Amino acid sequence: MRITNSMLSNTILKNISASYERLEKYEAQLSSGKLFRRPSDNPIAVRQAMDIRASLKDIDQYLGNIEDGISWLDTADTALRNASDLLHRAKELAVRGANATNSQDELQAIALEVDQLLENMISIGNTTFADRYVFAGHKTTTVPFTNAGSTVNYNGDSGSISYEIEKGITAQVNLPGDNVFKGTTDVFQVLIDLRDHLRAGNYSAVSQDTSRVDDALGAITNALTVIGARTNHLELTRDRQEQAKINLSEILSNIEDADLAEVIVKLKMEENVYQSALLTGSMAMQKSLIDFLK
């Protein structure tokens, strides 16, 4: 088969063009740090990278939900620990008030402190996190507890607030106030009755109130136990999600990140190939032109 000058020229130009495209690819990889510029470069790898990015986005959302949930539970935990301390003080006052040697003035002074404890307990029940009432159920913008004098009214509901922490898995982060403060034992009513019994000088009733304060402490302790268990669950899930994020990020890096040291070597080699192709093409074209002139 006779090789014409036209065929030789086309082959030379094709080789130069191919070398230039490879040179351009390596330069792009070096500047971007990525192996691919467009989906057509490696459709399968690009699809894998897209799927991993979607999974990473989901994990970030889960982690955000978990952190918000932990913060919510931490706020409730702090509030209920304060409630526990308050009830321990109420127990001390009840024991002191049950002593029949107290004068009426002394009972009134104790009753006044219990009344202050009641107001503090209402404030605890109205604890907020990020402008949301922690113990109001779904009604997070409604003040859950209001003092009606002889009782404390609950204005929230029994709704649970849950966050998605894994695909298809949710975790409840709130404790409605009617379950915590007005469940089997009405924590507020215990304090109200203790106050009123002290004011009335009813030593027998005050003595019985000491055990009712213990019941109130039990209710708060049970709520703290629930909070602790939920917090532990969220923290363990957070650890798993963070590890999954690390693993997926490494896989994504292996798929799309260029090995810069390797790219530099290939770039230098391709520069030499390109220069050689230009030189060879130039010499071949000159020889063809001389042959033509002869």
Distances (CA, A) of 25 to 30, 50, 109, 240: 9, 21, 86, 38
Give the pLDDT band of residue 251 (cuts 50, 70, 90). Answer: confident
- CB 39, CB 137: distance < 8 Å: no
Q: Indicate if the pLDDT at residue 234 is higher than 90.
A: yes
Predicted pLDDT at 289: 44
Report pTM. 0.76
Residue 95 makes CB contacts below 8 A (sequence gap 6+) with 210
- In 82-215, which ranges are E strands? 128-129, 132-133, 145-147, 152-154, 162-166, 169-172
Higher pLDDT, residue 100 or 288? 100
Give the pLDDT band of residue 35 (cuts 50, 70, 90). Answer: low
Give the pLDDT band of residue 268 (cuts 50, 70, 90). Answer: low
Q: Indicate if the pLDDT at residue 78 is higher than 80.
A: yes
Rounded average pLDDT over 237-262: 81
Taking alpha carbons only, the member of 9, 33, 5 closest to residue 252 is 33
Query: Is 205 exposed, middle or buried (CB count within 10 Å of its CB: 0-12, 13-18, 19+)?
Result: middle
Q: Indicate if the pLDDT at residue 39 is higher than 70.
A: no
- CB 73, CB 233: distance < 8 Å: no
Rounded to an integer, what distance in angstroms lies between the CA atom of residue 1 and that of residue 43?
A: 40
Q: Indicate if the pLDDT at residue 20 is higher than 70.
A: no
Predicted pLDDT at 36: 65
Rounded to an integer, what distance in angstroms lies between the CA atom of residue 245 and that of residue 68?
A: 18
Rounded average pLDDT over 103-117: 95
- Residue 132's beta-bridge partner residues? 129
- In 127-253, which ranges are E strands? 128-129, 132-133, 145-147, 152-154, 162-166, 169-172
Q: Indicate if the pLDDT at residue 148 is higher than 90.
A: yes
List b or e across 85-109, with b for residues whose CB sees 16 or more CB atoms inside 10 angstroms.
ebbebbbebbeebbeeebeeeebee
Phi, psi (5° rounding) for residue 72? -60, -50
Predicted pLDDT at 15: 58
Predicted pLDDT at 49: 80
Q: Indicate if the pLDDT at residue 120 is higher than 60.
A: yes
Predicted pLDDT at 216: 97
pLDDT > 70: percent of the chain: 72
Q: Indicate if the pLDDT at residue 248 is higher than 80.
A: yes
Rounded average pLDDT over 152-172: 96
Give the pLDDT band of residue 76 (cuts 50, 70, 90). Answer: very high
DSSP structure string for 12-35: HHHHHHHHHHHHHHHHHHHHH-BS
Predicted pLDDT at 285: 55
Among 58-67, 120-129, 279-288, the minimum mean pLDDT is found in 279-288
Average confidence score pLDDT of the chain: 84
Say how far residue 260 (Cα) sits from the centre of its chain. Answer: 34
Give the pLDDT band of residue 293 (cuts 50, 70, 90). Answer: very low
Distances (CA, A) of 282 to 3, 9, 21, 102, 285: 18, 10, 19, 116, 5
Tokens of 27: 């330069």
